Structure 1
């Protein structure tokens, strides 16, 4: 009789274990009774009928989905390798269980196809400069497919674009030429401003010849400040002194 009692206790424990289910905070439990959905269970300790009811748990956390690198032909016929990453979550656990067999695999496949189709509609320069716009279009397209499965795509980001080596060399030459162009333009603008200022200075010196002599003295002062052993005096140095003297006398008479 003892072993019968032990067997009954074991059976009861098994039945109890089968009837008690724990649903975590980030999950929802879909309960099937004889193959038919009878409800969605919230987080906590839940009781089901053993061997009649079956619970399928669905996580509501955001899932990170790497989209593997794939070769894509751009609109201007350049072959590139593009890798991306998508973030999605289940917003309707009932649809995610009933509408599709494996929503993770489905989102993965539709993401790869969408990235290839969307990126292929743009030229290379647009892909490199308008990544945000392309990301938004990819997200929108994927979301249109996954919404009926109870899946919401949070964001899609292109994380790597690999160009052919020949294209990299061509872009490097283009960038170098562009930098040289900007440098020449800046130099030309500097020469223009310098010539303009020199012209203005020449006009002033023409009106006031003594200004040139004062400039010569200033240059000599700057040379002397460098502690040079040799100082070169311009030939007109003495005449400069006389011009300055005459200028001062003229100004003093006014």
Structure 2
């Protein structure tokens, strides 16, 4: 159909018309007239392009060699520039993306690469966008999708994480012991003032053990001494009540 002077441009395309080698304009979607033999149209897609950035070895700022792969999304916004300013947009974006990823990751430490991925993505996108603007391209998004660590580094990080968990567990256990010791001290003060409380606690423990009905309970000598202490306490209380009653009667 171009030989007949008619060209059809799809909705997602724009047609750049060259007349005798010079740009004569951009055609919108639909059909358009062209001068046979004089006009030549190159169609440019405005759809978003997914560009995988192949993995490459990068040495971080703290001298750790890692493998990094990424993916970029871009689209053409200026059909004329995307044809006139660069020979192949796809190749140019791919090469500059690989270089930018290597440079940005190489300026960062390993901890930053692992924990601040969003910041690195934004830095890579900003550098690519400035360069690609001259080619009529907008880089919409860049994502680091695969970070490979050496086996030795993975084992070291696993040991570090395990040590950190053990440290937190010991701190929590120590805090629990300190809290428990304080409560036991308070309970001991109460028991000293009220010996019956110790007996009640012993009876409570025996009651809990007896629920299972499969245990043999042995009363230690301390239990007998506790019973005697209770008897002395009851006798002392009865004597004090008797003395108080006698004093009241004498009055």
TM-score, normalising length: structure 1? 0.88
Mapped to 2, the partners of 1:195 and 1:97 lie a distance apart of: 79
Residue 228 of structure 1 deviates from its aligned partner by 3.1
Residues 107-146 of structure 1 aligned to structure 2 (within 5 Å): 107-146=93-132
C-alpha separation in 2, matches of 1:97 and 1:203: 90
Conserved 8 A contact 1:75-1:123: yes
With over 3 angstroms needed to count, the CA separation of the structure-2 counterparts of 1:15 and 1:68, relative to structure 1, is closer
Contact residue 28 and residue 41 of structure 1 kept, 8 A: yes
Map 1:55-204 → 2, pairs under 5 A:
55-204=41-190
Contact 2:196 2:230 in 1 (8 A): no
- Given the superposition, is the C-alpha separation of residues 148 and 223 from structure 1 closer, same or farther in structure 2, using an over 3 Å criterion? same
Could you say if the C-alpha distance between residues 118 and 190 of structure 1 is closer, same or farther in structure 2, counting changes exceeding 3 Å?
Answer: same
Label 1:204 to 1:32 Cα distance change in 2 as closer, same or farther (>3 A). Answer: same
Call closer, same or farther: CA 1:157–1:14 in 2, change over 3 Å. closer
Structure 1 unmatched runs, 5+? 1-12
Cα 1:15–1:69 shift into 2, 3 Å:
closer
Residue 9 (structure 1) aligns with: none
| 1:123-167 deviation per Cα after TM superposition (whole angstroms, max 9, x unaligned) | 101111100000000000011100111100001000011111111
Q: Report runs of 4+ in structure 1 exceeding 4 Å deviation.
A: 243-251
Report deviation, 1:242: 3.0
- Aligned 8 A contact 2:54 2:69 in 1: yes
Q: In 2, are the aligned partners of 1:213 and 1:240 still within 8 Å (CA)?
A: no
Gaps of 5+ in 2: 245-251
| Counterpart Cα distance in 1 of 2:64 and 2:3 | 64
Deviations 1:59-85 (A, max 9, x none): 000000000101111001111110000
**8 Å Cα contact 1:70-1:82 kept in structure 2:** yes
Q: Name the TM-score, length of structure 2 as normaliser.
A: 0.89
Distance 1:14 1:23, change over 3 A: closer
Q: Distance in 2 between matches of 1:218 and 1:177?
A: 41
Quote the RMSD (CA, aligned, Å): 2.2
Preserved CA contact (<8 Å) 1:30 1:56: yes
Range with bigger deviation, 69-78 or 168-177: 168-177
Any idea what the Cα deviations from partners look like across 1:178-218, whole Å, max 9, x if unmatched?
Answer: 11111111111111111111111111212222111111111
The residue that corresponds to 2:12 in the other structure is 26
Equivalenced residue count is 239
